[in-house]
Each structure stands twice: as structure tokens, then as C-alpha cells.
Structure 1
Amino acid sequence: MGTIGEGLDRAVAQAATRPIPKSAGARMRFLVRQHGGSTRAVAGLLGITQRTVERYVRDQLRTPRPDLAERLAAEVRRRWQPRVQARARKQAATSTGIVIETRARFGFTAAPGTTDDPRMRLITQHLPPEYARRLFDAQQAGAAEQQLQQIAAEGLGEVYFRDGGRRADGLHVTLTDVDYVEFGL
């Protein structure tokens, strides 16, 4: 199940201009440098022992378990090229907006006599910069997944369901049961 926060992180990470280091040792050395040389902090971050981190740094260990390899790649990707990621966030929040593709259950609160039963929909839609800014600001502030879903629902409600105010006036959209979500900058 994809979450909004993880989807935003993946979209921003795709803006990188260079690939992340390939070997486990190089990735581990990068994380150790990011944490001021502290192998203990990296061990706590990845859920492994400090000695294991040291062995990867010295290339005594080369092939991590699949779950560790996944966590290691995700942490490196999250910290890779921070200025490029910040520039991509700023551009999406000020000028280009963001594209959301999601399969989720959408429900409505609307005028009496309308069908407001939630149902699964697959939607791909460009959201204007103001919603991208709100999503990134909320994510940076540590907002819960529910709050991020609410912002995405408001954006999709405005752009997709109400068509910028041309139809379905007063329709309130709720987003639940997110099956998957992907973002593009």
C-alpha cells in the first residue's frame, strides 16, 4: 500500500541528476558521512549493529540481506542531492505543480438526491502549484498521513470533480483506502 508521504519522497528522489552509489559499502559510507561520521547513528537508523555498519564501511561485508538492502537504498535516496531535491520541490510548489496518479476510494458529501457512496476510482490528474506547496509544506511539518490525504482530496475535488468551479458546486470529496499513489513533478 502506497502512502502519500512515501509517494512525495519518491517523486522528489526521481529529480536527482546522478544515480545513488551502487555498492553497499559506498552507500554505507555516504550515510556515515551524512551523520557526521557516527556509525552508531547509522546503525540505529537501519536497525543493525554498529559493528555491521563498520564492516560494510571497510568493505568486509559486500552483500546485504534483501530487507537491509532496501532500507539502505531508501535512506540514501532520501538524502541524495538535497539541493536538487529542494529545487524540484520549489519548482513544483511555485510554477509547475504536481501530477498525482492514485487508485483509492472516493466519497462525497453533496446535495440531497446525489450518489455519495464511496467507490474505487483510478485517477491521474495534474494538481496546480498551490496544492503541491500545501502537500510539501505539510510533509515537512510532519503531518500525519490522514492530513496529507485530506490535502490531496481537496486538490482532486477542485480540479477533477468540480473542474475548477464549473460543475458540482459544494461537493466535498473524501479520500480513503488508498491502494496506491504515485506523483510526478
Structure 2
Amino acid sequence: MADSVGDSLDRALEGAFTRPVPRSAQAQMRYLVKQLKGTRAAAGLLGVSQRTVERYVTGRLKRPRQELRERLEREVKKRWQPQVRARARKKAAATDGLVVSTRARFGFTAAPGTTDDARIRDITQALPPAYADRLFTAREQGATERQLQQIAAEGLAQMYFRADDTRAPGLGVEFTDVEHIEIDL
């Protein structure tokens, strides 16, 4: 399965965590119950009964089935260390930017009548803070994967293919068939 820009953004922010995410189902469930202020809210979010949540919190149940384990892990990571996550996002959007490493199909359109057929390329490129801000803002606002790919394509077009707009003016870049994408802060 191909990587997604959204998941890669989430992993980049998780890399800024200063403490490890709880590992056991009991610790994860306790954290989620505390964050959501009750077992009923946690149960609703996870799609299980309130009693099931209570059993995990007390330790009577220890090993959730795979689907619940994945949902629990995802929800805990989403809420883990919000200040650290916000600080890392702010730093990337204000001063540092992002580094995008990808293997994907890139195609080009330039002056009328000229094209370059799309081909798979491996690219690692630093993107300026403006693109980091656009990507994180779009992710928070629920942008689709295609919209996130479009923002990343614009950044790669400007910085990699047009060398920060010092060459190939007007070159349009198409970013498709993402095999791998890794974003680092």
C-alpha cells in the first residue's frame, strides 16, 4: 500500500514527542478515558461498550483484538503531548520548514505544446516554512489526500524543479502514484 502525505505528517509530529506513548492496552485506555473525561465518551469513540472500556481500565481485559488495538493506538497518538506537537508544528511553519523524501511519479507541462512524460523519481527536498504551514493547516482542516499531495507537489515544483523559481518558469508538475513519502521536521 502506498504511503499518504497525511500519515507522514502525523509521523513527523510524533517524532517530536519527548515521552513514549503508552504501550499497554490498560495504560492507553486510562489515558483516553482521562482525555475524554469518562468511560462513556471513550466507548463511543472506540465503538465498544462502556463496560469493555471499564474492564481495560481495571486490567481485567489485557489484549484487545487487532481492530480495537489499532483504533486505540491511533486515538491515543492523536491526543498525545498536544503542546509538544503544537510547538513542533509552529517551529516547522515559522522557521525550519520540512524535508520531503518521496518516490513517486512526476510529470511536467511547460510552454504550450511541450511536455515531458511522467516517470518515477526518488526526490529528497527541503521545503520552506510556508509549505509546512500550508500542509499542517490543510491537514487540520480535513483536507483530502489529493489536496495534500497538490500542496506537496507545488512545493517540490518550486524548490526542486524550478530551483526556488530561478529556472524553468511556468513549469507545472504533476505528482501521482506515490509509492513512498516520508516527511521530517
* Band the TM-score falls in, shorter-chain normalisation: over 0.9
Correspondence for 1:27: 28
Root-mean-square deviation over aligned CA pairs:
1.5
How far 1:18 moved relative to its partner? 0.4
Mapped contact 2:109–2:115 kept (Cα < 8 A) = no
Correspondence for 2:40: 40
| 2: CA distance, partners of 1:115 / 1:109 | 5
Correspondence for 2:155: 155
The within-5 A match list for 1:1-185 is 1-37=2-38, 39-112=39-112, 114-185=114-185
Number of residues of Structure 1 aligned to a counterpart in Structure 2: 184
What do residues 75-114 of structure 1 show as CA deviations (whole Å, max 9, x unaligned)?
2111110000000000000000001111111121112564
Task: Provide TM-score, normalisation by structure 2.
Answer: 0.92
Mapped contact 2:12–2:183 kept (Cα < 8 A) = yes
| 2: CA distance, partners of 1:81 / 1:3 | 23
Mapped contact 2:29–2:56 kept (Cα < 8 A) = yes
Runs of 5+ in structure 1 lacking a partner?
none
| 2: CA distance, partners of 1:183 / 1:126 | 10
Runs of 5+ in structure 2 lacking a partner?
none
Matched residue type, 1:160:
Y
CA distance 1:116–1:41, shift in 2 (3 Å): farther
Matched-pair identity in %: 62
Per mean C-alpha deviation after superposition, the further-off stretch among 20-29 and 42-51 is 42-51
| 2: CA distance, partners of 1:78 / 1:41 | 16
| 1: CA distance, partners of 2:158 / 2:65 | 45
Per mean C-alpha deviation after superposition, the further-off stretch among 43-52 and 20-29 is 43-52
